[in-house]
Structure 1
Amino acid sequence: MAPINDSVMRHQAWLGQLLNDDRNAPDSTCDLILESNKTQFKVHKSVLMLVSNYFRRMFTIEMKEKYETVVKMQKIPHQRLANIIVFIYSGMIEITEENMFDVLDDAEYTEIKVLKAKCSTFLLNVISADNCLKLRAYAQRYNLDDLLSKTNQSIMKNFEAVVQHEDFKQLDFDDVSSIITQRNKIQNHEEAIFTGIVRWVHHNPLQREDFFVNLFSQLDVSLMSVSFLPNILKENMVKNNLVCLNLFAEASLKMNQCLDNNEPSEVVVIGGDTTEQDCVIYDVNSQQKRQFPKLIVGVCGASSVIVDRKVYVIGGGETYDSENPIKTCEMLDINKPTKWIGLPNLLEARMFCGSGILQDYIYVAGGLGEDNENLSSCEKFDIHSHSWTKIRDMQYKRSEHGTVVYKNSLYCIGGQGYDFDLTNTCECYNMPSDEWKEIAPLNQARDGLAAVVLNRNIYAIGGYNKTSVSTVEKYLIEENRWEKISSLQNARYYHSARVVGNKIYVFGGEDGKRPLNSVEVYDPASNVWAIAFETEHQILAASSVNLFGILIEFSNLIIDYVLNFKTSTIMWVK
């Protein structure tokens, strides 16, 4: 074909204009009328046949329209038909975000390839997180390969927003599965995908619940953050299905393996005597430290927890022997650790209280109150609404006690009781029933102790009983009994303890004569305590949290859950 020069193009435009003008001329040569909604348009059959395969077939095969002078276009509204006719004669059409799907539908129906291509070009330029799912559906319906490719790219880029969009809930199973399969794991959107899958199923549970296991099995749970894992186990479709539980347990164990290999060894130590505003991260492997921003209010004898990568510091006092407890609470976002943020005060001021995370609440129990009296009162903090609510009191008043969380229960161990007498009583709070129950007492009463959970056992470490205590007891939860294990190298109280890499690390404290800066480590395999290292400064009446490596007990919880589920669902057949 010879190249088209400007003269030829001008001639073609002139000819097209003549034909278009002829449609409205009194002596028009048009040989056909298209009608929609009783509105008629004069056209030339030959022009329609050259541009549209739909009209070419209509007038070249034996269809009744071939012999009619008026053809009714019932599937295209009259205004849209007018726009199509103008395009056929002039190549001009206005495509906007408001009419783009209508124009594409009409281009497909009339089989006008050049208009379909024009629509595709427009759509490629308006793809966004809000419309990429809808555009992807059109791309699939009308075989627009370039559009399909670019919408898939947009979905990958905006995955977290896309799975929360209303359009995601309207997808069928094949589309949801396809989107999950095509995701880029390097970008790690697994948490957003899980949330999206749950929302998708809940939109029509009767028809979609059976698809959940298939979709869940396509996720890589081991790529999710540790703090997100409890959200998965809360979902009934996971915890009531053995396949999902097994997948979840395998992933959490894999995460533990990765954490062990990468030495997840950092502990955050917060506040304390002479270090009231300090927040120091200690790496127990490298024995190096680094600083987080200083607290807004310096504290001793505070309680701390970490959830969703946020550290919460609750209550405390100005010094470790203060008689003026405080109500303040602060939070530091580990993802953006620039400054501490003040939160609503406790309902009651309390020092040397216990705290723990159960689902989306921080539970706080006991402590020394404003009237210099030990408390039995408890309260919980909603991490979403940032509000405190009173819950059922403990059976005993206590402060300076050990506190741990295991499964759905908060355990409070020993401490000071009525009239500041030492107590060996222990009790646990069951969150679903909102009830406290007494459990087996310690062999030795103690306050100022530290407590941790390791390998599904609770450890009560050190403390004070007329003098500093080096003894350690282990609570066998399933047997409801305490047994003694090896003692600390140094007797200590007002210390802090954390589990790192399947070992217990104890930080600082006081031995009755002086504050300590030594860190001891316990290996349960050998039942031996040893001095791990010494810190630059003393650590006394400080609180602490794990920065990483908090999966071990959670994995054990999952394993227990799976085993219990298997046991409860065994069916005997004859």
Structure 2
Amino acid sequence: MQKQESSISINQPNSYTMKLCEKLLTFTEKGQFSDICIISSDNVKFYSHKNVLSAASDYFMAMFGDSPTSTQVKIHEVSGKVLKAILTFVYTGQIELQSETVEDILRGATFFQIQSLITQCNFFTAEQLDIKNCLNFAMISNQYGPIELYQQAIWFAGVNFDRISKEEDFLKLDENLLNAIISRRNLWVSSEEVFYFSLIKWIDHDKLNREKSAVKLFSNVRYWMLSLDFIKEHKSKMPKQMECVELVCTWLEWYSSPRGMMWSCFRACKEAHSYFTTNYIDPYINHPYAQKFIQIVAILVLLLIKTSATILK
């Protein structure tokens, strides 16, 4: 009688891979079978394996591709504490993120081009954004990425501008980053006067180098929401640039006319409509009350335009 052949398929990818990675990590701790020594900025040495590092990091892939025989490399941009955490992630896929350390780990992950770790830091940071750290994360993500974190940090700063403008990091913003925050539609300030003085404070912090940014930044001031008395009183506090003075004088002259006065009312209604539509109506656009609200606002705007046209005739 012929004996039947038998077979069985064993598939334990998760447990097997985890044990294998943990074993490889112990090799790095003992310096066994390693072919590369990574030295951190504070001269802490880590023994590792080129194939593992190259599989996880495009940075190391490019480095070892150009220098396949190298046995030691110094990383000036990353400390020993951060490098240890990143190497643990590379070997095991595990890392402990904390509010105090995620900034340095994100910077290191971006430097090494480890996309999976960048994504994890991004998710963690998005949940941790607050008044104290949003500007710092905006500056880091603007320089290193990812773009998703940058956009979230900019959005958060815009809707909390009153509070973030009082933080020390606000004065460290460069012109482009500050302009990215204040030119967004979601910018919210308790009053245009607060916004005005925030720009003055930012420029005064480094007046010699920042006065040239005045025209660009002050073009975001909604002058129609400032009183004529306020503009006249504080015009002298603007940076002493002819273009800025001309900008304010132009607004003063225009607002003094009946057309300017009516236009300021119209723009205020338009701003309110835009803000409420974006933040309160769009998410519930199919709701019957939302449709009614849009109709009422449209009627009020039409009445305002009609009244303005009658007065200006």
Higher normalized contact order (CA 8 Å, seq sep 6+, divided by chain length): 2
What's the offset of the Cα at 1:199?
0.7
Pairwise mapping of residues 164-183 of structure 1 onto structure 2 (< 5 A)? 164-183=166-185
For each residue in 1:450-472, what CA deviation from the matched residue of structure 2 results, as whole angstroms up to 9, or x when unmatched? xxxxxxxxxxxxxxxxxxxxxxx
For each residue in 1:194-250, what CA deviation from the matched residue of structure 2 results, as whole angstroms up to 9, or x when unmatched? 111111111122222233233223322112357754553452548982332222332
Residues in 1 aligned to 2:74 and 2:161: alpha-carbon distance in whole angstroms:
45
Pairwise mapping of residues 124-273 of structure 1 onto structure 2 (< 5 A)? 124-184=126-186, 189-224=191-226, 228-229=230-231, 231-233=233-235, 235=237, 237=239, 241-251=245-255, 253=257, 256-257=261-262
What's the offset of the Cα at 1:107?
0.8
Q: Structure 1's 21 and 222: CA in aligned 2 closer, same or farther, altered over 3 A?
A: same
Match of 1:55 among 45, 49, 60: 60
Q: Which amino acid aligns with 1:213?
A: V
Q: Structure 1's 230 and 6: CA in aligned 2 closer, same or farther, altered over 3 A?
A: farther
What's the offset of the Cα at 1:125?
1.1
Conserved? CA contact 2:181–2:187, under 8 Å? no
Q: Structure 1's 21 and 213: CA in aligned 2 closer, same or farther, altered over 3 A?
A: closer
Conserved? CA contact 1:159–1:192, under 8 Å? no
Match of 1:79 among 71, 78, 81: 81
What's the offset of the Cα at 1:57?
1.4
Conserved? CA contact 1:53–1:112, under 8 Å? yes
- TM-score, normalising length from structure 2? 0.70
What's the offset of the Cα at 1:51?
0.6
Partner of 1:9: 14
Pairwise mapping of residues 83-122 of structure 1 onto structure 2 (< 5 A)? 83-122=85-124
Residues in 1 aligned to 2:102 and 2:76: alpha-carbon distance in whole angstroms:
20
Greater share of residues in helix: 2
Conserved? CA contact 1:201–1:209, under 8 Å? yes
Conserved? CA contact 2:135–2:170, under 8 Å? yes
Greater displacement, 37-46 / 228-237:
228-237
SS of the equivalent of 1:125 reads helix
Mark the runs of 5 or more structure 2 residues left unpaired by the alignment: 1-9, 267-313
Q: Structure 1's 199 and 76: CA in aligned 2 closer, same or farther, altered over 3 A?
A: same
- Identity value in percent: 25
Residues in 2 aligned to 1:259 and 1:45: alpha-carbon distance in whole angstroms:
65
1:45 and 2:50 matched = yes
For each residue in 1:149-199, what CA deviation from the matched residue of structure 2 results, as whole angstroms up to 9, or x when unmatched? 211221221111223332222222222222222144787753222111111
Residues in 2 aligned to 1:131 and 1:159: alpha-carbon distance in whole angstroms:
13
Partner of 2:4: none
Partner of 1:33: 37
SS of the equivalent of 2:145 reads coil
Q: Structure 1's 39 and 218: CA in aligned 2 closer, same or farther, altered over 3 A?
A: closer
Pairwise mapping of residues 316-465 of structure 1 onto structure 2 (< 5 A)? none
Residues in 1 aligned to 2:63 and 2:21: alpha-carbon distance in whole angstroms:
23
Conserved? CA contact 1:232–1:238, under 8 Å? no
SS of the equivalent of 1:215 reads helix
Q: Structure 1's 6 and 201: CA in aligned 2 closer, same or farther, altered over 3 A?
A: farther
For each residue in 1:379-425, what CA deviation from the matched residue of structure 2 results, as whole angstroms up to 9, or x when unmatched? xxxxxxxxxxxxxxxxxxxxxxxxxxxxxxxxxxxxxxxxxxxxxxx
Q: Which amino acid aligns with 1:157?
A: V
What's the offset of the Cα at 1:48?
0.9
Mark the runs of 5 or more structure 1 residues left unpaired by the alignment: 262-574
Residues in 2 aligned to 1:116 and 1:179: alpha-carbon distance in whole angstroms:
23
Give me the CA root mean square deviation. 3.0
Residues in 2 aligned to 1:72 and 1:186: alpha-carbon distance in whole angstroms:
46
Residues in 1 aligned to 2:140 and 2:191: alpha-carbon distance in whole angstroms:
25
For each residue in 1:503-541, what CA deviation from the matched residue of structure 2 results, as whole angstroms up to 9, or x when unmatched? xxxxxxxxxxxxxxxxxxxxxxxxxxxxxxxxxxxxxxx
Conserved? CA contact 1:129–1:158, under 8 Å? yes
